[in-house]
Amino acid sequence: MSDLDKILKLTKKDIDGLSYEDARSMLSTVVDGLDDSQLPLSDLMKLWEIGEQIASVCDNQLKAAAEKLNDGLPSEE
C-alpha cells in the first residue's frame, strides 16, 4: 500500500491524533499526490479535503506552541 493510499484511508480521528512532524510529512505527500495527474478526480478531491484537515492540525499545533512560548516570556510593561 502506497503512502497516498494510507493517507486516503485516514479518519478524522486519525488526523487529529497526528504529531506535528507526522502531519507535516503527510502534508508533503498530499501535495505531491495532488500534482499527480494520473489519479482519478474523486481521489484528488478526497486528497484535497484530507490535506486541508492535516494543514489545520499543523496550524493548531503551531499556534499552541507559540502561545506556550509567549506565556513564558516576560511582559514588556
pLDDT digits (tens, 9 = 90+) for 10-54: 999 999 999 999 999 999 999 999 987 788 899 899 999 999 999
Mean pLDDT, rounded, for 43-66: 95
**What is the pLDDT at residue 77?**
60
Q: Residues 51, 34: contact at Cβ < 8 Å?
A: yes
CA nearest neighbour of 30 among 10, 48, 9, 53: 48
- Say whether pLDDT at 75 is over 80: no
- Residue 62 pLDDT grade (very low, low, confident, very high; cuts 50, 70, 90): very high
Q: Grid coordinates in use for 24? A: 507535516
- pTM for the complete prediction? 0.82
